[in-house]
Amino acid sequence: MKISILDDYFDTVRTLDCFAKLAGHDVKIWNDHVQDVDVLAERLADTEALVLIRERTQIRTPLLERLPKLKLISQRSVYPHIDIDACTRLGIIVSSSQHADTPSYATAEFTWGLVLAAMRAIPQQMAALKAGKWQIGVGHTLRGKTLGIYGYGRIGAVVAGYGKAFGMNVLVWAREKALAQARADGHETASSKDAFFERCDVLSLHMRLVDATRGIVTSADLARMKPSALIVNTSRAGLIAPNALVNALRAGRPGMAAIDVYEKEPLRDVNDPLLNMDNVVCTPHLGYVSQDEYEIQFTDIFDQILAYAAGAPINVVNPEAIGRR
């Protein structure tokens, strides 16, 4: 099959052990990011199987209708960036493993790295040291403080465990089923959303972005946080209402933020307010970006391609597309 892989920024995929699964196929890898439909249509004109790295490129109707040879889109995790209805109409199968049995340990570990970096102002202290300054302030320890986990799913549960290991008091707010699981795991749950935001010293978001969760963190929620509190977002930018975070940080509640996700990615606007605040640690959506995580993800992605080539597609999110082509 003719296979195209988009947005492999650092040409990492071909270095993975699992890349050997595609031996015998015609594979083209693109290392830049392009969203222009004309450019993508030209690049992918002969593509039969398209590999996506999470949500880096939007795959919508204007592009899909110009890819007559495309038979399969293979990726991992959620797919708000793909027009599933158009794929179904055009007979393009979308295979996407939802990895329901495993959390992204890479994202959980990175979340904790951001917590430590922000609470001790590590990036700011490093920049100051390189500029010839010695100690520019006093940081905050974690032991004895309250770690809030908003959304107690696979990743949230792992991060809660890290907090407990650091001697923090873990407090959870989520849907009722998830709250019950958190209590079963020995964690305290908040009496209300308002109380949750008021009590947390560190608050980490761990929810998928769907219609029900878009903007679920409001300006009023953020205004209830302590001036000394930190909010961490390694999930999706859209969980926080538009402009609410920047305005809240300017108002001093919460006092700090650590952000790995943005409304528009890649974020290349150096004038973005978040990138120019001394009380914010920003990273370029690195949560899942590790060699080990890539091995896990692309093993699933390539297995989906092999299953399709064998005539038995797996993890199909639009079964109505099967047989339409």
CA distances from 286 to 21, 104, 120, 259, 282 (A): 25, 12, 20, 10, 10
d(CA 162, CA 278): 26
φ, ψ of residue 90 in degrees (nearest 5):
-90, 0
Residue whose tokens read 């439909």: 37
Nearest CA to 230 among 190, 201, 199? 201
Query: Going edge to edge, which strands form the sheet with 2-5?
Result: 26-29, 2-5, 49-51, 72-76, 93-97
DSSP secondary structure, 87-121, as one string: HHHHT-EEEEE--TT---HHHHHHHHHHHHHHHTT
User: Which of 109, 198, 265, 293 does the annotation list as catalytic?
Assistant: 265
Separation CA 29–CA 128 (nearest Å): 39
Is 206 one of the annotated active-site residues of the chain?
no
The neighbour count for residue 171, using CB atoms within 10 Å, is 23
Check if 285 is active-site.
Answer: yes
* Whether residue 325 lies in the annotated active site: no
Give residue 57's identity as a one-letter amino acid code: T
Nearest to 92 by CA among 116, 67, 75: 67
Taking the C-alpha atoms of residue 281 and residue 320, their distance in angstroms, rounded to an integer, is 44
Which residue, chain included where needed, has tokens 């959980």?
108
Sign (positive or negative) of CA dihedral 150, 155, 160, 163: negative
Q: Determine the Cα–Cα distance for residues 29 and 19; give it in Å rounded to an integer.
A: 12
* Residue pair 103/296 in contact by the 8 Å Cβ criterion: no
Cα 83 to Cα 94: distance, rounded to the nearest angstrom:
10
- Residue in 285, 320, 324, 325 annotated catalytic: 285
Provide the annotated active-site residues.
236, 265, 285
